[in-house]
Amino acid sequence: MAFLNSLNIIGSALTAERFRTDIITQNLANQNTTRTENGGPYRRKQVIFQEREMNFKDRLEKATGGGVRVVEVVENQEDFIPVYDPEHPDADEDGYVLYPNVNNSEEQIDLMAASRVYESQIAALSVVKAMASKALDIGK
């Protein structure tokens, strides 16, 4: 039972971090997008995680619990970056173009952090698999 619960927790973390990685790469891909379908520059997106809790009844019925889940994806409300480029088609009357509020360095750091968390979850999964294998060997 505990092995299955551990696998569910690790699986939820892997899924959440994979989603976070997808959002970070979307931010990086759109760091120069000055016009979206909404009309303005692209806004940086961030993922909000929450602990996945279950009450006692759910734990008894489903024999699982814990983990993490994605609650929502929010748009960062920091100001856009004005760049003087009067030749750009999206330039305003003063010649400034508003670029997305995406900081390449910050996105790279977030991507490294997400990768490290993902790797640590893979390591935890390997430990749980090894423990389950040893437990099966005991029964032989």
Q: What is the 3-state secondary structure (H, E, C) of the chain?
A: CHHHHHHHHHHHHHHHHHHHHHHHHHHHHCCCCCCCCCCCCCCCEEEEEEECCCCHHHHHHHCCCCCEEEEEEEECCCCCEEEECCCCCCCCCCCEEEECCCCHHHHHHHHHHHHHHHHHHHHHHHHHHHHHHHHHHHCC
pLDDT at 22: 97
**For 37-65, what is the mean pLDDT?**
79
Cα–Cα dist 24/47, whole Å: 9
Cα Rg, the chain, nearest whole Å: 22
- The predicted pLDDT at position 91 comes to 92
User: CA-CA distance, 60 to 73, in Å (whole number)?
Assistant: 31
Task: Give the model's pLDDT for residue 66.
Answer: 77
Query: Between 67 and 118, where is the model more confident?
Result: 118
Q: What is the pLDDT of residue 26?
A: 97
Please check the confidence at residue 128 and state whether its pLDDT lies above 70: yes
Q: What is the pLDDT of residue 55?
A: 65
| pLDDT of amino acid 58 | 62
Query: Cα separations (Å) of 29 from 4, 85, 128?
Result: 37, 21, 36
**Residue 65 confidence (pLDDT):** 65
- Mean of the pLDDT values across residues 61-70? 73
pTM for the whole structure: 0.84
Least confident segment among 1-10, 97-106, 118-127: 1-10
Average pLDDT rounded to a whole number, residues 19-39: 94
Q: How far apart (Å, rounded) are the C-alpha atoms in residues 120 and 13? A: 10
